Amino acid sequence: MDAERINQLIQITGAQWEAKDTPLSKAKVAPGAMKYMGLAISPTEISKEAKLAARTEPRAVSLQPPPPKVDWRNNGGNFVTEIKNQHECGACVAFATCAVLESRARIAQQAPHLNIDLSEAHLFACGCGDCCDTGWVNSKALDFARRKGIGAETDFPYNTMRRDGCKPINAIVKVRAYAAIETLTVRKKVVAAKGPVSASMEVYEDFLSYGRGIYQHVTGSLIGYHAVCVVGYDDTDQCWIVKNSWGREWGDGGFFKIAYGQCGIDTRFAFYDADLVGIGTATRTRARKSAREKELENA
């Protein structure tokens, strides 16, 4: 879609975001296509999420109201890892899951400079298979991370996945348990107390042209469903702060803000919380090294 036309409609509707030309807006993304997205959602899957949330939602994270704002990119340090790019493969679930677990590992170690880079290829190719054109679901990705764990990007790079298929590697992170979260207040409490979570949303044509601001759908058709990593929220601006997997040239350096209630992100779909078993020795070693490097930088 044309960014200039979208910006005109944004002004007319009073929305608070800005469109720009992006690699995604220039690509031909057909409705229903999995490339660039990849959340294989269905009424059955939504029903499963609701049942899982009813059974597992962590209702007692805190008796106190959640703070009015949290952003794990600036919360006593940056606990959010680098933006990545899933390219033309429907692997968003793997990218969102790895983004959550990378941040949770940094938080668990209280090490914002922890050098952790999980292999989306390991999670996607070994957990789902040849799924670039069919996509996946959040609960199955987390279940694979619970049963098998996820290895390092250096051991199974994403750019080799389509050539190599599933490549068994040693896990450096494993999930102990996960839970679906549906209540808005509990979503905020979990993000504030525990860290980033995985989320799902509808994607409309205008979202491909997002540049900055608080996204609200203003024009264009529904083209698919997408898994993302929520890294914070802001009650003043009434929005979620989200990490995407479309590279740094898209959005606000790869991140975006989306208004509460938009695109089903906190109404139609559950958030997913995940607790880690632990972190591999190699990762802890890199964490100590990174901490020492930071000390030297500040000396």
CB 81 within 8 A of CB 117: yes
Quote the DSSP letter at residue 152. Answer: B
- Beta strands of the chain (E only): which ranges? 16-19, 69-71, 173-181, 197-204, 210-215, 222-234, 239-243, 255-259, 271-279
Annotation says 92 is catalytic: yes
Catalytic one among 226, 229, 239, 263? 226
Annotation says 78 is catalytic: no
Calculate the alpha carbon distances from 253 to 25, 84, 147, 210 in Å: 15, 11, 34, 11
Q: End-to-end distance of the chain based on CA atoms, in angstroms?
A: 50
CB 255 within 8 A of CB 47: no
Assign 124 to helix, strand or coil: helix
- Beta strands of 36-172 (E only): which ranges? 69-71
Annotation says 87 is catalytic: no
Catalytic one among 7, 98, 244, 263? 244
CB 97 within 8 A of CB 49: no
Query: In whole angstroms, what is the distance from residue 126 CA to residue 143 CA?
Result: 12
Catalytic one among 7, 89, 92, 113? 92
The residues annotated as belonging to the active site are 92, 226, 244
